Amino acid sequence: MPDQGDQGSVVNPVQVQKFLKNVDYPAKKDDLVRAAQEEGADENVLSALKAMPEEEFQTPADVSEAIGDEDGGNETDNGGDE
């Protein structure tokens, strides 16, 4: 039974980074997906990576931010006043 339509699973960016430990940055989204597949990432991780924007990621933090943004984007991105 395929899980392709399952969006209920939220992926922890730290979990994703475990599958990207051998990636040389900057890296494109396709490179990240391929690296995760080679490291044995599950479908939830691969889906999170595939859902990221088509861009070049400079650091692991950029990847985590992009994954977190897919999760709702409630980061302190445009909250300028403290």
User: pLDDT tens digit string along 26-68?
Assistant: 999 999 999 999 999 999 999 999 999 999 999 999 999 999 8
Handedness of CA 81, 59, 48, 8 (dihedral sign): negative
Residue 6 vs residue 9, higher pLDDT? 9
Let me know: does 11 contact 46? Beta carbons within 8 Å.
no
Backbone angles phi, psi at 13, to 5 degrees: -55, -30
Residue 2 vs residue 29, higher pLDDT? 29
Q: List the chain domain ranges.
A: 22-70
Residue 47 vs residue 4, higher pLDDT? 47
pTM of the predicted structure, to 2 decimals: 0.73
